[in-house]
A and B are shown apart, each in its own frame.
Chain A
Amino acid sequence: MPFDYLLFLGAFLFCAGLFVVVTRKNAIMVLIGIELMLNAANINLIAFSSYDPVALQGQIFSIFIITVAAAEAAVGLSIIVKVYQHFKTADLDKINELKG
């Protein structure tokens, strides 16, 4: 398989994630978009790592990415749940108390 295809896939996932983050207002959809972007980064790391003759740096780095994604999802969702309890909505545009 051509190496470029893997990078195209990563780029596509990243842009799709970006699109989701930009266009959706629901907080959970934004989180989904972020997960997509993190996955895109992982694909690139693993793709380069599989051609790395020396070490497993890419794979190890992607383990860290996965862990950070897990931590981020846990904290993010707890914040979303709290916000929902307070504002009765998870729509990010309606949570604008600071907007004067």
Chain B
Amino acid sequence: METSNIIFYIFGAITVLSTLYIVLTKNILYAAFALILTFIGVAGIFIFLGAEFIAVTQILVYVGGILILLVFGIMLTNRLSEKKVVSPSYNKLFGFVIAGGLFVLLIKGILQANFSALGWINQETSSPSGIREFGMTLMTDYVLAFEIIGLLLLLALIGAVRIAGNTRKEAEDAI
């Protein structure tokens, strides 16, 4: 086995195990911190697939941004106490049937589709994964989508501030 394959399997194992932990644990905070491991594992797989930029963006945005938000959300919606922050799962059987059924379905679909046999998958690719090409593509072919996504972020920012902040003024408005 090649080294790169071993690395791939390690990152895959990190992802799978931490995801399983998220599914099984009752503690929300542990789940949030296990999510970090999932994200890092996924980022490792991205690097392995030659998408370094996406991998680093993944770490920067998910771990540095979304996860902090999640943990802050947990801390703001729970009081510091002796008890741990737990959220048990309900309808386990029902959920398991849905998720497991979908999983079996997807696996069957993937196996039947047999992507590995597709012509363009096995092509010798000289994929332009360099950051320069990536930037050029983003700023030329996809510039409209890029701008729109920027606008979306701005809107989300304003919306989030509007919703979460300024409690006092809203109370006045209500009166």
Judge A-B direct contact (beta carbons within 8 Å).
yes
Instruction: Tell me which residues across on chain A come within 8 A of B102, comparing CB atoms.
Output: 14-15, 18
Sort chain B's interface into a size bin. Answer: 35 or more
**Distance, CA A64 to CA B152, complexed state (A):** 10
Min Cβ gap B3→A in Å is 12
Q: Is the CB of B31 within 8 A of A29?
A: yes
B81 within 8 A of A: no
- Per-residue CB proximity of A59-73 to B under 8 Å, as 1/0? 110111011111111
Q: Is the CB of B164 within 8 A of A78?
A: yes
**Distance, CA A88 to CA B157, complexed state (A):** 24
Q: Is the CB of B50 within 8 A of A50?
A: yes
Instruction: Tell me which residues across on chain B come within 8 A of A55, comparing CB atoms.
Output: 137, 141
Q: Is the CB of A79 within 8 A of B110?
A: no
**Distance, CA A66 to CA B64, complexed state (A):** 13
Q: Is the CB of B12 within 8 A of A63?
A: no
Known A19-B96, A84-B77: A74·B16 in contact at CB below 8 Å: no
Q: Is the CB of A43 within 8 A of B45?
A: yes
Q: Is the CB of B77 within 8 A of A28?
A: yes
Q: Is the CB of B45 within 8 A of A24?
A: no
**Distance, CA A7 to CA B115, complexed state (A):** 10
Q: Is the CB of A32 within 8 A of B19?
A: no
Interface of A is mostly: helix
A24-51: which residues lie under 8 A (CB-CB) from chain B?
Answer: 24-29, 31-32, 35-36, 39, 42-43, 46-47, 49-51
**Distance, CA A16 to CA B34, complexed state (A):** 13
- Per-residue CB proximity of B34-50 to A under 8 Å, as 1/0? 01001100100110011
Q: Which residue of A lies closest to B7 (CB)?
A: A1
Min Cβ gap A63→B in Å is 7
Q: Is the CB of A56 within 8 A of B137?
A: yes
Known A32-B22, A56-B129: A78·B39 in contact at CB below 8 Å: no
Known A15-B99, A16-B22, A50-B127: A29·B62 in contact at CB below 8 Å: no
**Distance, CA A28 to CA B68, complexed state (A):** 12
Known: A23-B95, A59-B54. 13 other contacts (CB 8 A): A3-B115, A3-B116, A4-B115, A7-B115, A16-B19, A22-B99, A50-B49, A50-B125, A53-B123, A53-B125, A55-B141, A70-B153, A82-B164
